[in-house]
Amino acid sequence: MSSDTSKHSGSLLALSDRTKKRNAAEKRFRAYGFCAILIGLAMLLVLVTTIISRGTGAYQQTFVTLNVELLESKLDKKGNRDLADIKKVTTFGYNPLIKTAMKTAVEELGIAHNLKSKALAGILSKGAVGQLRAYVIENPDMIGKTVEFRFLAQSRVDGYLKGRVSRDSIANDKNISAAQLDLVDALVDAGVIAKTFNLDFILGADASDQRPEAAGIGVSMLGSLSMMMVVLALALPIGVAASIYLEEFAPRNWLTDIIEVNISNLAAVPSIVFGILGLAVFINYMHLPTSAPLVGGLVLTLMTLPTIIISTRAALKAVPPSIRDAALGVGASKMQAVFHHVLPLAAPGILTGTIIGLAQALGETAPLLLIGMVGFIASNTPETLADGLLAPNSAMPAQIYEWAKRADPAFYERAWGGIIILLLFLVTMNTVAVILRRRFERRW
């Protein structure tokens, strides 16, 4: 008896060895947690820094300013300004005009060189003749005048001014030569070549492998927007209706248990499986158009439904049972209690889950590739809602994937630039979800 008393004797203010070990373990655990947060923030900082440093170049582009004489003898030999005759002149007919303009600009500046006219014009993008032809067709009255144009420089010139291309790296490059780079340096000093903000990257369409400097993500953004409209129009009402029935009205039996288990399993199914399902059902069986945002939206709806159902049921469960009991106690029907009292209180959670589901769908790539939504299939902005849903198009994640696998480094730069836009969309959607939850959430 005395030995037990002596074992626990001492002041209450003095820490025992066991208490000291517990406190030390708690400090270590907090230190581990703090270190984990620091590591996570460091990795996030590295990710954001890498994306911004490699993607900001896509928002600047090198342009060449030239005065082009639109010779009537080349563009309108009959001189009648008949649009049909003007359209008969192909891009090959515009090449001499650009070569002459480039040669004249270099001679006026007094720049010494030993390049032929073809090499001089090779500094420009291959899309320059198309740009010139489109301008003449749109403005036939300008034929016979000298007009100032701002042409894209080819991707190697743009890369050289951005530090992506060096003289050593072009030793075996057929697209550019050291003599052309010497000319580029002289034209930069003269102000003929300059880098400016590239709005066409944000508003433009994809381009072929021969014109990487002209590629843009604007049309793909419209494709993603069209798909999100389809997903929102279908997934939200179907998902919320299914959730309300399962949570508030469905009897608890083996059938509803199977449905709930399958919904949970569908939420974990890889997205590529939904792509195969969409290819088999919507394209091969229903014969909907390939690469259409409507098909992409239907596939993403199937993928998003389980997420919306699960989040909506969780929001409905969070409403206290006393709300239902009080409504029923004053004579409301089951449907009135749900739609007039429970659903409005669960709305913040439902909206949050829906926006998170849409954000998840916005970043999916694999199912879109399986239904053919790849890059360089849409060159024009859809003019009507029907075109936006049924005309072939791409989507931002699929477009980024296509750029990343192309050979030219300019496409790789655009892939990083597209990631910046995609992340801005995702951050905006998640921010809206947080604001809605904070604005309308009620704590019980």
The Cα 26–Cα 30 span in angstroms is 6
State yes or no: pLDDT of 1 exceeds 50.
no
Mean pLDDT of the chain: 86
State yes or no: pLDDT of 235 exceeds 80.
yes
Buried b / exposed e along 121-160 (16+ C-beta atoms within 10 A): bbbbbbbbbebbbebbeeebeebeeebebebbbbbbbbbb
- Tens of pLDDT, residue by residue over 162-204, are 888 888 888 788 888 888 898 999 999 989 999 999 898 998 8
Q: By CB neighbour count within 10 A (0-12 exposed, 13-18 middle, 19+ buried), where does 275 fall?
A: buried
State yes or no: pLDDT of 136 exceeds 50.
yes
Closest CA to 408 of 68, 158, 127: 158
State yes or no: pLDDT of 2 exceeds 50.
no
What per-residue confidence (pLDDT) applies to 237? Answer: 92
- Tens of pLDDT, residue by residue over 370-392, are 888 776 565 667 777 777 888 88
- Tens of pLDDT, residue by residue over 349-373, are 888 888 888 888 888 888 888 888 7
- Tens of pLDDT, residue by residue over 263-275, are 888 888 888 898 8
State yes or no: pLDDT of 5 exceeds 60.
no
Q: Structure tokens of 331?
A: 């004579």
What per-residue confidence (pLDDT) applies to 417? Answer: 93
How many CA atoms within 13 Å lie on the side-chain side of 425?
20
pTM of the model: 0.84
Least-confidence region, from 4-18, 84-98, 107-121, 414-428: 4-18
What per-residue confidence (pLDDT) applies to 421? Answer: 93
Q: What is the mean pLDDT of residues 413-435?
A: 88
- Tens of pLDDT, residue by residue over 288-331, are 888 889 999 999 999 999 999 999 999 899 888 888 888 888 88
State yes or no: pLDDT of 346 exceeds 50.
yes
State yes or no: pLDDT of 4 exceeds 60.
no
Number of residues that make up the chain: 444
State yes or no: pLDDT of 10 exceeds 80.
no
67, β-bridge pairs: 148
